[in-house]
Structures are given as C-alpha cells and as structure tokens.
Structure 1
Amino acid sequence: MGKKKKNNKNEQRQVSQPPTDTSETTMPEPSDAINGIELLTEIGNSFQHISTMNYALPSPQRPLALIGWGAMPEQHALKMNYDTNLARLCKSVGIDGYNYMAFPMGGLGRAAFKLAEDSLDLPPISIPDAQFDQYLWQTYIIGTVSPWIDTDNPNPVLAKVSLDALREELDHALYLGVRNVVIPLRRVKSPNLMKLLNHYLWVRTAKFTISLVMPTRQDEFEDLTDLEDEDIFNIWVSIRRGLRNYTSERLTVGLRLTEAEMDDEFLIPEKYDRWHGEPLFLFILSTDSFVFSPSPPSLNSKMVEMVPAHRKIVFDLAISLENQRFLVMPKGQMWPIQRKQMVEYLTSFLNQKKSPLLPSQNDDRILTDVLLLPMETVWRDLSAADYDGLESDITKYQHYSEAIGYMIGNEIDLKNGLVIYILGAGRGGLVGPCLEIVKARFPHLHKIVRLIAVEKNPSACISLRYKNNTLWHGKLTIIEGDMRFVLKNPDLPKANLIISELLGSFGDNELAPECLRGAESICTPSTQFIPYQYSSLLSPICSHRATDQLRDSFVSVYDSERAINVRFNREAGKFIYSRPKHWTDHLYVSLLNRYHEAARPQEVSQFKYSHEDQNFERHVKLSYTIKHACEITGFLGHFVAVLASDIYIANSTRYPGGLSTCLKSWFPCYLPLREEIRVKGDSELILYFWRKCCDDGAWYEWKVTYTEYGTDEEKTTPLQNEGAESYFMPLRPKEEEIKELF
C-alpha cells in the first residue's frame, strides 16, 4: 500500500480497509488507511454511471438492468466500521459490477442489535453524511431499515421502541438525501406501520420513494392467521388502498423471493401477471435464488444457475428495466468471486429482455406509459414534426403498398383507366407508394392513371405542390380543402380507388366515418376503399402509472381555465371552449408498458367503408370474465384495419409476430374509469359502451357493472362523459360559418 500516511485531523472523510470481510487476511494496519477523498474520485468509475431520474437507451458500455448489493451485518465484520467507511465498500461492490448498494440507514452496528424486552438500549445512528458528496447518496445508495424493527409487535413496549427507531431512521434517510428506502412488511395487520407511512407520504412529504417489500410466501408473515385477503397480491392492494393510493413516485412495492418454494400465485403466470399493473419497483434475491456447487461459503463454490422459478418470475415481471431494481441480499458471507458471478449472471440474463416497441428509433423511451391527448386531426392541422413521425412508419407503408397492388390487380376494372383519390393526403406519404406500385407492376397504366390528393392543411399543401413539381413530375392533382365540402364538385371524376389513413388510435376517434361520408359524390357501386373496414377493441386493464398521471398531472398542474375541448355554435357562429368536467372521462393515447390485462379484448364497434350513407352511432354490451381478483383502472383500446383481402394493420402487438403493428403512426388508447374498482375473481365485468353523434361531432359514453371483491356486492360505476360533458370529437365547420374565431 506504500508508505504509511499520517492521520489528517482536518480531513472529515476517513475510510479504512477492507472492502469485504474476505480480505481481512491481507488487511493492512489501521495506520495504512487510504484517504477517503482519493476514493471518492474513483467511486463514480467503479459503479455504472446511472441516474435515478432519466435513462437513455441501452448501450454496450452500460447494461440496462440496475443490480445492487445489499449490505447486512452477517456479511461484514463490524470491527471494520463500514458505517463510516462506506466509500471503500461501495468501491469494491462497484468494481464487481453492481450499480448501487443498499445500506441500513441506522448503520450496520445498529442493524446487528437484538431487540428484546430486557434489551432496549438501542445503538445510536452512526452514518455521517460527510463521507459522501450529496449526489453519491442520491445516486448510489438505497436505504434499508434495521431488521429487528417490528412496529406492530404484540408487545406494546417493543412496538413503541420499533416505531420510534423506524421514525429516526427515516428522518436520517431524509437528511442523507437517499432517493429510495426499503421497508419489509413483517405482519399483514400493521396499523402502526401504516400510520407512520401515511405520515411520511402525506404530512412530511418525504422526498424519497418508500418500497414496501412483500414475501412470496404467506407463511413468512408473522401473523398468518385470519387473513382477510386471499393472496399476497390482494394483501398489497389492500395496503395501497389503505394508504389512499399514493402516487407510485413515492410508494412502490417490492418482492422478496423466498428460499422455500413460493406460493402458487408466484408460480402461475396468469396470477402473477397482475403485478404488471402495480408499481413493482424492486426484486430482492438471496443466495438461495442461485445454485452453487459446492454451497457457500466455500471458497471453491461456483455459481451454476439461477433457481428456475425465481428466474422465470423475475424475467416475466421485469418489464421496465429503467425503473426497476434488482437487489442481491445474501444472508451469510459471500466471497467476492461469488458476488461477481451473481451480478454477471443477472446482467446477462436481464439484458436479454426486449425493450418495449418504441414509436421511433430516437430516444423516445420517455413516451412510454405517458398519457397524451389525441391529435384531433379533423379539427387541428398537424405540424411538420407530426408528419415526420407519421411518415417514418415503414410497416404502415409496406402494407399499404401491398394493398394498393392487390386492389389494382384483383378488384378494379381498368377498362376506362384508373382514378385514385388519396383523402387526407398530408405531405404525400401515400403518393409515392401509389406511383411506385403503378409504375413497377402496372406499367401500361402509368400514363393513364389519375392521382388526386385532397388535403385541408394549407401548410401541408405547400409541401404537396413542391413535391409534385420536383419529385412526381406533375402527376398529382391537388385539391385543397375539407373533403366533406370540396368533393361535392360535380366536375370531379369518379373514383376507382379511395385511399386514406384517417384512423385514430381507437379507429373512429378521429371521425373517419363522418369525414369519408363526404366522398359519396365521387363514388360508384364499384369504388374500392383502402382500408375497407376496421374494428375497435377494448380490454379491461390495471395501470396505476396511468392513474397517477390523471390524479396528479391533469387535475392539479393544469389550471381551471385550461380548455382542451371545443364545439362550434352555429347560431352564434363562434367556438365554445371548455375544460373537461372530469379528466377521467376522456380518451387518451399512450404507449402503455406497465399494465395488467385482466381479460382479452373484445370488439366494441366495426365500420365498413362504402359509398352508402349509414348511421355511425353504436351501442354494445360486453361481458369479460375476470379469473383472478384484481383492480381495474380502465380499458386499453386499439384498432384492427383490413386494407385488402388478408392484408391488415393494427396498433397492438398482440397480432402474429407484431408484423402488422404500426405504433409509430398510432399509439394504443386508454379509456379510464373515474375510480379504481376491485373485482372479485371468477366473476363477470360488464361494459356498456356508446358512440353517439350529432351534426357537429361525436362522443363516447361508458360505464361498467361488476362484483366487488370482499363484499360480493354487484355494483355499477357512474355513466362517464354523459352528453359529451368532458370529451367531444368535433367536426370542422365551413369557413363561411365562422363569425368569431377566438
């Protein structure tokens, strides 16, 4: 280690060796201690450079999975006083490949204390903040609490001491600035613990996230008798609801994978899939999650594999690696080589997870699980950035090209030439494929085809004219205006083929049926449409990430004057702007990733394009079978559109291989309930859904009937968005009708 260094009395960060107990045989004398400042410059390089706020897409230099090491008294010699030498321990763990460390907020010495009625003299908290810079506490340390704390012990003396001790440790965690604190749930009935957590969530407004850890076996609870809930999942749901569903930015859940065989609810995928909808933040693994030969603490033991049941549930539930943590907390001593084997295995195994399908190849991961308002393309004109996103959807244009080729070759009589209309042409995303298909596969039609684009956005029409002059050699006829009005010109030629991409995330929510009614005047009985029909589907889901946003973002951040809804008053000739009466009575679009689908989707409505006038209102009653008790927060919606024959597109990955998925153009949609409902297992959930229309637009209304978990009572939710009081899909009026714009 070189020459001995004199103690520097002015230095506040003093760190001593060794990094782990297994190094004690080669430990230098205490006077050989390394100055802590020298270590602090190295810690950031030892740990992976992570941030708990934002994560970029994975790179070869930084694994996506965030794996930590949990320090416990059994693993480290207390004489080394790691409570004040934490930098040395963090460096050693970081070199092995771990991203962070979980450490008792009271210190290892306090965590080793044995609480008893005749032993109530608690060791003091002994972790100074000065040994780390503030950002290191925030980035590399997760807090744990002393394992002997039992706030709801039947002995009131021990319960009182535990409650005071937990409060002290949480206060110290606030002082240190750590961002996460892990608290194990020892008893199902824990009123004292719930009161304390409520205080820190609602009164103290703690700046850290509390992760309440649940075991994967019911008999791990110390008060197993007289359970009111049927399984651990519902125990957690009852606790979360008891804490008033506090936002998942402050209250999350963790699973501790137990050494003994886990309960059935963690072995059967359709049961543990329910955790997808919960704020599942943490997976705690022990030595028993891994198979060693021979068993530790032998120096010769080598890791063979991970216990299959543990491996499967971690792999299946780890759906958001940027926002979830994996914590190794062995109960006994581990040699550094074994510690390293575990993290290398977990890193390789977890990084096999496929990332959720993103809307573009750029860093758009920030859009995952974020609720967005629909574009409302009928009412609003899109920007160039919007068109860039839509036109980057290669899958969509590949399928449209196939459909165009099929229709021209099989469904259209070409004796009198070919007239193709592209309605809602935008900047011409479909023009290029049309011209290419005709030129490549039907060269004899190349000179006689007539291609007409209709677009209401005046800025997009500028781009259309530019491309027509520079790319398409003037082969495109451009009609600027709303298709509902400009196509009534009797001089326009009749269409052989009408192509559009007017669909919304829910199929008809961008008013495609109403808009295409304007094409009646250019249709003949033989006119073909692409797409020629589409269906809208809904499935009941639980997504607390979505619920958090509705509760905290839309309601509290936006002021009462913010208007997002608009209706046109023809009598007054002006627009009426309004704010939703209920933010939950609104359709949102979102690339949801963290949710549990309680039943398979069912068809809500179907529209088939034709030149005939039809009624666009719909009413349906759907029955979903809920196999296992769970919460429902709303419905996930998507569409399936048939372009031609067996060529289709969708905005859901559930269809074969995801080959027809067009998420870059259309996110799925989310239809919330006003309040989360708790549904009994093996019961029916009935959805009543209406699509209603008027002269200036359309809207949805919905409600559900269900059997409540715990009471077996049949209940019905309020009718949402009645009379379009919160969400309305407006049609654009004629320009001459507008007397007052603002």
Structure 2
Amino acid sequence: MDSPTSMGEPMPIFYVGQHETQRALPVSDGLVRHAQDCGYDMLTTPITTPHFHASVLSLLTSYHQAISETSPYPSPQPLPLIPALKPVDAPLTPGDTISQLLAFTSPWIDLASPDPLIAHLSRQVFNLEIAYAAFCGVVTIVVRGPRLAYGTNGLSQYARALKEALQVGAYIQLHILMPMAGGTDADNDEDMGDLVRFARPEFVEGQNEQSTDPFSAWDAWNTIRSICRYNARLSVALDLPRRLPSMSLQSRWYSEPLRLIYLPASSFLVNARGSHVLSKPHQLFIYRCMRLKSAPWLLLADIGPIPGVNDPSLILSYSTGHLSPATAADAPSPGSSLSSTPTPAEAAQISKSSNRKSRNDPTPHLSYLRYLQRNQPPKSTIERFGGGFQDYLQSPLQPLADNLESITYEVFEKDPIKYEWYERAIAAALQDWQSHGKSVSSTTGAVVVAVAGSGRGPLVTRAIRASEKSGVPVQVYAIEKNPNAYVLLQRHNEEEWNGQVTVVKTDMRAWKGPTLPDGSFGKVDILVSELLGSFADNELSPECLDGVQHVLNPDHGISIPTSYTAHLTPISTPRLYADLMARSTTADPNAFDIPWVVMLQQMNYLSTQDSPQHAQPSNGAKSNQQKLEQAPVPNVQTAWEFRHPLPPTTLAQSSLRRGGSAVGGGGGFTGGDGANEHNARFSKTKFQINEQGVCHGIAGYFETVLYSGAAGTVELSTNPVTMDEKSKDMISWFPIFFPIKVPIQVTRESELEISMWRQTDDRKVWYEWLVESFITVGGKRVRLALSDLHSSKGSGCLM
C-alpha cells in the first residue's frame, strides 16, 4: 500500500505509549527520555508502590483480627482509615516530564465491592492516589473499570467515587479502562493481593451476575457516565480483545468519548514470518478511530520491557514503520474458534520469533504501529473537506432573513458534485424541451431559464454550459436579493457571461417575471434554485418557490428541483449531548430546542437494517466471522415530501387565506391566516431497536429529484443509505441534528417512535419533535419512555 503522505495528504498521527502492569523500575526522567529514543511518545506509571499495597493489606488483616478478638459478642468496629502517603508509598514527584506520563490507579482495589469494608478501603486508596497525582501535575489517569461479575450491583458506588475524584482533581482527565466485549473481567483477579479476594462471603454470595451479553461492558460504562452527567473529563480507555466483537458493538464504542486504545500483547497475531501484526478488523477499527476529531492514543501493554534499559551500550534506532511488505503482512484471519489467548503452538512461535526479531528490531510492536500510521487508507472527499468540522454544532442558515457572506457561498461552491449534477439536470430538461417541441416564453425562440437565489452565480454558469452542451439556446435571468452578491453578479455578467444574463436585484417572491418589449411581464420556462437545507425544507425552499411560482409557465414550466423528501433516524451521540449540556447551562438555555447542522462523525445508528445479528445471506455461505464484520446499514425513514410546481388551486387558496377573507377561512391552527398551512407537515415513524443503547436525538437528511424525464433522472442525496448511489462525495450539506433534553434508554427488541412536525404561522417556520420508546410484553405494547415535546419556534426561520 502506498503511503498517502507521499501524495501530500496529511494523515492522523499515532501517539503510542508503553505500559507494564508490573513495571520493575520507577519512571524517572531518564527512563522517559530513553523511551522517547526508542520511539514511544509516553510511558505509564503507577501512582503508589508495592509498599503501600502491603500496608493496606496489613491494615485489613489487623481489622479482621480485631473483630475476631471480640467474639462471640463482637462490638461494632469503626472502619479502618488509611494513613497519609509517605515517600516510600509513592514514586511520583512533580517534574518536567510529569505531563508525558499516564498514571494508573491501583488495579487491586474494588470500588464496586458488595463488601462495605472492601469498598471503603478502595475508595480511600482511590482518593489518596487521585489527590496526590493531581498535586504532582499528572493530567491523565487511567482507572480500571468496574468488575462485570457483579452485574449492575455496585455501579452506583463506582460512579460516585469517580464523580468525587473529578472534584478532587479539577484538571485531571479520567480514562476508564473497559473491555470492548462484556462478559469477562481482566486477569488482575489472579493477583493474590487483590482486595476482591478479601471480600467476606456473606456479602459476596449471590452477587455474581456474570453475563454473556457482549453489550454488558458498554451498559456499565453508560451507567457510570450518566451518573457523572457526561462530564467532559471522563472518557473511555478501550481494551481491544484478540478477536473483535460485532460491528454494531464496535460502532457503539466508536461513538463514545474514546481517548485511549489499550493493546495488550494478546491482541497481536503472528504472521508467516513470525512478525507481530494485528488482524484486518483491528486495523480497520484503529484507522476509523484515528480519523476522529480527537483521535485516541494507543497504549501497548505488557509487550516486554523497554529495550536497552539494562544495556546502555545497545544502540537503538527510532521506529519509523518502514517495514517490508512481508514483515507487515497480515496474519491469517481469526476463525470463529480462535481463543482470546495464543494456543501453545502460537505461544512457542511467538517466543522464538521474539528472540529472533529482537536482534533486528528491539521494538517490533511499536514498529508495526508506525507502519500502520504510514499506510492508512486515504481520506475520502468528505473527510478532506470537513476537516475540523466533525461534530461541530452550527446554527442553520436563514438566507431569507440574512444576507450571506461571500465566504459562505465559497464553501458551497467547492462541492465537486452538486453543481455538476445541476448542470446535467438543466441539460436534460433542455433536451426534453426541444425533443417534445414545447413552445417557449421568449420572443427569440430561446428557453427562458431563471436562477432564483443566484448567490455568486455558480448555477448561472452551469445553465449557460448546459445550453452549450445541449445545443438549446437559453435566455438566462439571475435573481438575487443580497445587494452585495448583486454587485458580483453584474461583474460576472460583464467579464464571464458576455452580457447574456439579465441580473435582477429583488426578493424572488416579488419578481414579476421577464420584462417584455411592450412593458408587460413574461413567464419563465425553467426555474432553477438551490434553496435546500440539511433537512430539505428547513431553509424555506417550499415558501420561496411558492412565492416565485407565479412567473413559471403554467402549461409546461419546469422546476429544478422538482421534488425533495426529508428523512430521519434515531442516533446515539454522547459527544454532541455533552456539548449541548454545557451550552444549556451557560450560554444558551434553549440549546436542546434548536435543530443543529453538524457533520456527524462520532455517532452510532440505533436502528439498523440487515444487521449482523439478523442478516441472512442469499446463498447461505457467509461465515460467522463475515457476519460479525458486516457493517450495519442504518434504518432511515421518510418524514415527508414537497413537490414543485404546486397545483394552481393550492396557490389560489393560499392567496385567499392570506387576506383573512371568509372564503379563505380566517386563520390557521398555529396563528396567522393559514396562508402557508399547505406547507405544514406531520410524520410518525417507527424504528426497531436491535441492541440496547441510548438515544440522544434524531439525525435528519434529504433526497431530491432535480429533474426526471426522457433524457434522464438526476438526483442528490445526503441520506447515508442512498448517498453513494445518487451523489457520492457531495459535500454541500451536513446532516441536521434534533437533540432531546433527556437521553432515552432503549432495550433490545424495543421500538422507538418519532413524531415530527413542521409548523408555520405565516411569519415563520419551525419544527417540533418528540421521541417515545415502546416494548411489546405478552402481546401488549408498553411505553418505556417519553421525551419532552421540543420546539424550535423561538429560533424559527423567518419568512
């Protein structure tokens, strides 16, 4: 694979650290510099020493002995208190390299223990370590996640301890080390000094709720971060197993605040040459995560000590990742029978290859990650265009109420697809016009084309090109209300369009049509506009085109676009929800009542079609592993549709209502006279939920038919299901996001129901939305949750 950097395309940088569960040496400044010479970006360090661990166990033993001595009538004993740390208890000191260290809290504590004694001691150890690490200047602390063997028991205790720790260290970042797939706990339980082994039987019996549900680890994390109210300083350190779980679970973790990917030695396979490599699914997951706006760090765990620490004469070279194709070749794809640990044969092979390769490459695992860094897949068009905009909330444009800046137009004009497709649509319409022998509205025999809302003129240029390619003469009008863009349009007409365009400064709804030689106003044959927003109609395209339709040829006038549909689907997006929570408590109390335009990246679809759990291949030959690696297809449903031009009777009725006449009716349901009531919409859509999750809001998209006729059909789409088919690499529109104030927990095999309204009072247009969760029990549909009725009326689009 050629390196994309050779083509001048910047790629994400991998920041790689080294971790030893039992680090033999204290992390000194010299060790940090030595690790950097080897190519590592960071090291990990424990916060306390084995001496401190021993003193805590001694305290626990003394407490048990004190209780036993009071038998047979034990009196209540105060729980033991751990004394302050001594220099021998903690290896850390403030220094210049402290910011390059990741601190690990003691893995032998049990914050979620059902035994109040063990939980009490664990919280004390935890608080002492957090406070001291924060004092020393440590920024990032990794905390072992709760033991899944307890099920949901103890999660509230664990979460409360984290919430308290976030208050103790005002600037620390807590990374919670969680297994990617649930059902298994870390191997730390084998430590004879682990406090979990000292829990009293009367508290532990009946607490073991070990689950085989792969989502149990994610569910535990979701409970913890919900109790901590989506704190921005609380994130996930994800432990990658030897075999990755289903794509649906991978996508769920991908949507979380992922700050660290933990790669133990058991995650690596050995290829035919004895090199340590990752499977293709591991590579793809890492590549995907490294494209995030805040890419996670990579932490190599227990792959062996840092080479050369005990041999200063050993000359080390920086790991560049310049590996031969054979060295970096993938190992055989893991089969369904692959265990989470190497087989005896694999272990022997690893041992032999490690000895052999250590002479050639002292850091083979690091070199392989650098190889992956240098050979990432090239970025897509949307990724290149949207750099920096991922998951960035933007208020929708109001082109009717505001005059857009030139830079805003310029961003739209960089789209490589949109205007090319518009040109095809106009050319197809002109060809059909000519082939059908339709009469024209001009006196010169040319087809009259009006671009309503011309902006800086890209569609005008495309209309002229379409005329040249089709051989059909046109008479072009450019209609624009923005006085600043009007100046540029006139300059373009002089310098680029050779004066063949008539530029008109007016609101399109006030334009009376082309002026004829006798002073009357003519009609337009083809009306072209680019008024669509992220949800199709959210920038008032229906209202604008209704207002200008009076200039369109009533017999066979063509509107481009001719129709458009709004689409939606429920999503989980913790990152956006945390952002909106912060906004709602500070700058914008109405943040959850605004539909936001956002380049969705770190999110997860809650409802999918043909997901790995339910997909049935047509030939029946798809393996279990292939099913697990199959990307789920989002279930995106249609909310409503608009078509242009409208029937003349609809516009006539709207005109009657506008005056509040008796014939018109006297008023709409939401205020005004009801003149725009025909553009109100309502939809109720249902979505099957395949796996448990949490709904943070609704993602909105659109599809549009620019033109459909004998010469062809031209469509645009931002719908993730149809975008690649209809308009791949189009970048003009980001999706729209309708948030909900309180996240809704959804269960497996439940159903989400979304009610969406497009409301109007003749002065502005706004949206209202509501989400409900249902489950069917014994044939009866039971409501599980109900969101608030959200309304964007306060920030509606002015007409």
Q: Same fold (TM over 0.5)?
A: yes
Paired with 2:478 and 2:686, the residues of 1 have a C-alpha distance of 43
Letter matched to residue 681 of structure 2: R
Give the alignment partner of residue 717 of structure 1, picking from 781, 786, 794: 786
What does 1:483-522 align with in structure 2 at a 5 Å threshold?
483-487=508-512, 491-522=520-551
The equivalent residue for 2:681 is: 618
Query: For residues 518 and 158 of structure 1, do their structure 2 counterparts lie closer, same or farther at Cα, with a shift above 3 Å needed?
Result: closer
2:108 corresponds to 1:148: yes
Query: For residues 57 and 679 of structure 1, do their structure 2 counterparts lie closer, same or farther at Cα, with a shift above 3 Å needed?
Result: farther
What does 1:150-299 align with in structure 2 at a 5 Å threshold?
150-153=110-113, 158-188=118-148, 189-201=154-166, 203-204=167-168, 206-215=170-179, 216-220=181-185, 225-226=208-209, 231-243=216-228, 245-247=229-231, 249-258=232-241, 267-292=245-270
The equivalent residue for 1:643 is: 706
422-431 vs 171-180, greater mean Cα deviation: 171-180
What displacement does 1:220 show?
A: 1.0
Query: For residues 156 and 523 of structure 1, do their structure 2 counterparts lie closer, same or farther at Cα, with a shift above 3 Å needed?
Result: closer
Q: What secondary structure is seen at the aligned counterpart in 2 of 1:101?
A: strand
Letter matched to residue 91 of structure 2: S
Paired with 1:89 and 1:325, the residues of 2 have a C-alpha distance of 20
Instruction: Figure out how many residues of one structure are paired with residues of the other and give that number.
Output: 621
Query: For residues 516 and 368 of structure 1, do their structure 2 counterparts lie closer, same or farther at Cα, with a shift above 3 Å needed?
Result: same
Q: What secondary structure is seen at the aligned counterpart in 1 of 2:602?
A: coil
Query: For residues 499 and 339 of structure 1, do their structure 2 counterparts lie closer, same or farther at Cα, with a shift above 3 Å needed?
Result: farther
2:668 corresponds to 1:690: no
The equivalent residue for 1:325 is: 297
Q: What secondary structure is seen at the aligned counterpart in 1 of 2:249?
A: helix
Paired with 1:205 and 1:196, the residues of 2 have a C-alpha distance of 12
- Contact 1:71/1:102 (<8 A) preserved: yes
TM-score scaled by structure 1?
A: 0.76
Paired with 2:795 and 2:6, the residues of 1 have a C-alpha distance of 35
Query: For residues 534 and 709 of structure 1, do their structure 2 counterparts lie closer, same or farther at Cα, with a shift above 3 Å needed?
Result: same
1:227-269: CA deviation from partner (whole Å, max 9, x where unpaired): 69862221221222222x223x31112222346xx6xxx5221
Give the alignment partner of residue 93 of structure 1, picking from 22, 35, 52: 35
Paired with 2:501 and 2:541, the residues of 1 have a C-alpha distance of 23
Q: What secondary structure is seen at the aligned counterpart in 2 of 1:637?
A: strand
2:410 corresponds to 1:342: no
Paired with 1:309 and 1:234, the residues of 2 have a C-alpha distance of 23
Q: What secondary structure is seen at the aligned counterpart in 1 of 2:125?
A: helix
What displacement does 1:679 show?
A: 0.9
The equivalent residue for 2:798 is: 730
What displacement does 1:64 show?
A: 2.0
Q: What secondary structure is seen at the aligned counterpart in 2 of 1:376?
A: coil
Q: What secondary structure is seen at the aligned counterpart in 1 of 2:583?
A: helix
Paired with 2:365 and 2:398, the residues of 1 have a C-alpha distance of 50
Paired with 1:642 and 1:67, the residues of 2 have a C-alpha distance of 48
Q: What secondary structure is seen at the aligned counterpart in 1 of 2:571?
A: strand
Q: What secondary structure is seen at the aligned counterpart in 2 of 1:233?
A: helix
The equivalent residue for 1:450 is: 475
- Contact 2:595/2:738 (<8 A) preserved: yes
The equivalent residue for 2:404 is: 382
TM-score scaled by structure 2?
A: 0.71
- Contact 1:505/1:669 (<8 A) preserved: yes
2:543 corresponds to 1:601: no
- Percent of pairs identical after alignment? 24
Letter matched to residue 608 of structure 1: R
Letter matched to residue 524 of structure 2: A
What displacement does 1:459 show?
A: 0.7
The equivalent residue for 2:71 is: none
414-423 vs 107-116, greater mean Cα deviation: 107-116
Paired with 2:775 and 2:223, the residues of 1 have a C-alpha distance of 13
The equivalent residue for 2:656 is: none
1:111-152: CA deviation from partner (whole Å, max 9, x where unpaired): 89994644999841122223x2xxx433x3222122323334
Paired with 1:664 and 1:310, the residues of 2 have a C-alpha distance of 29
- Contact 1:452/1:478 (<8 A) preserved: yes
What displacement does 1:604 show?
A: 0.6
Letter matched to residue 428 of structure 1: G
Paired with 2:593 and 2:486, the residues of 1 have a C-alpha distance of 35
Paired with 2:285 and 2:411, the residues of 1 have a C-alpha distance of 36
Paired with 1:451 and 1:589, the residues of 2 have a C-alpha distance of 33
The equivalent residue for 1:629 is: 692
1:587-614: CA deviation from partner (whole Å, max 9, x where unpaired): 1100010000112110011111114354
Paired with 1:315 and 1:609, the residues of 2 have a C-alpha distance of 44
Letter matched to residue 96 of structure 1: C
Letter matched to residue 392 of structure 2: V
Paired with 2:550 and 2:269, the residues of 1 have a C-alpha distance of 73
636-645 vs 623-632, greater mean Cα deviation: 636-645
- Contact 1:282/1:327 (<8 A) preserved: yes
Paired with 1:154 and 1:376, the residues of 2 have a C-alpha distance of 56
Give the alignment partner of residue 506 of structure 2, picking from 469, 473, 481: 481
1:198-241: CA deviation from partner (whole Å, max 9, x where unpaired): 1133x336212111111234231678723698622212212222
1:76-119: CA deviation from partner (whole Å, max 9, x where unpaired): 4x3xxx33x2x332233323333322222336876899946449
What displacement does 1:716 show?
A: 5.0
1:144-182: CA deviation from partner (whole Å, max 9, x where unpaired): 122323334566555444322222221222123333211
1:271-314: CA deviation from partner (whole Å, max 9, x where unpaired): 332223321222211111112489xxxxxx94242256655654
586-595 vs 108-117, greater mean Cα deviation: 108-117
1:663-687: CA deviation from partner (whole Å, max 9, x where unpaired): 5422111011121000111111111
148-157 vs 158-167, greater mean Cα deviation: 148-157
Q: What secondary structure is seen at the aligned counterpart in 2 of 1:129?
A: coil
When the two chains are superposed, the root-mean-square deviation of aligned CA atoms in Å is 3.4
Give the alignment partner of residue 531 of structure 1, picking from 558, 561, 564: 561
Paired with 1:141 and 1:537, the residues of 2 have a C-alpha distance of 47
Letter matched to residue 435 of structure 1: I
Paired with 1:339 and 1:729, the residues of 2 have a C-alpha distance of 62
- Contact 2:750/2:775 (<8 A) preserved: no
Query: For residues 288 and 59 of structure 1, do their structure 2 counterparts lie closer, same or farther at Cα, with a shift above 3 Å needed?
Result: farther
Structure 2 unmatched ranges of 5 or more: 63-81, 149-153, 190-203, 309-357, 440-444, 608-634, 651-677
Paired with 2:383 and 2:533, the residues of 1 have a C-alpha distance of 15
- Contact 1:73/1:108 (<8 A) preserved: no
Paired with 1:347 and 1:164, the residues of 2 have a C-alpha distance of 40
2:383 corresponds to 1:400: no
The equivalent residue for 1:69 is: 18
The equivalent residue for 1:577 is: none
Paired with 1:644 and 1:608, the residues of 2 have a C-alpha distance of 11
- Contact 1:487/1:518 (<8 A) preserved: no
Q: What secondary structure is seen at the aligned counterpart in 2 of 1:394?
A: coil
1:530-578: CA deviation from partner (whole Å, max 9, x where unpaired): 11111110010010111112110244134xxxxxxxxxxxxxxxxxxxx
Paired with 2:239 and 2:767, the residues of 1 have a C-alpha distance of 43
- Contact 2:427/2:469 (<8 A) preserved: no
What displacement does 1:455 show?
A: 0.6
Paired with 1:192 and 1:606, the residues of 2 have a C-alpha distance of 50
Paired with 2:549 and 2:271, the residues of 1 have a C-alpha distance of 76
1:598-647: CA deviation from partner (whole Å, max 9, x where unpaired): 12110011111114354212111111000111100001111111112332
Paired with 2:493 and 2:695, the residues of 1 have a C-alpha distance of 51
The equivalent residue for 1:102 is: 44
Structure 1 unmatched ranges of 5 or more: 1-55, 295-300, 559-580, 732-742
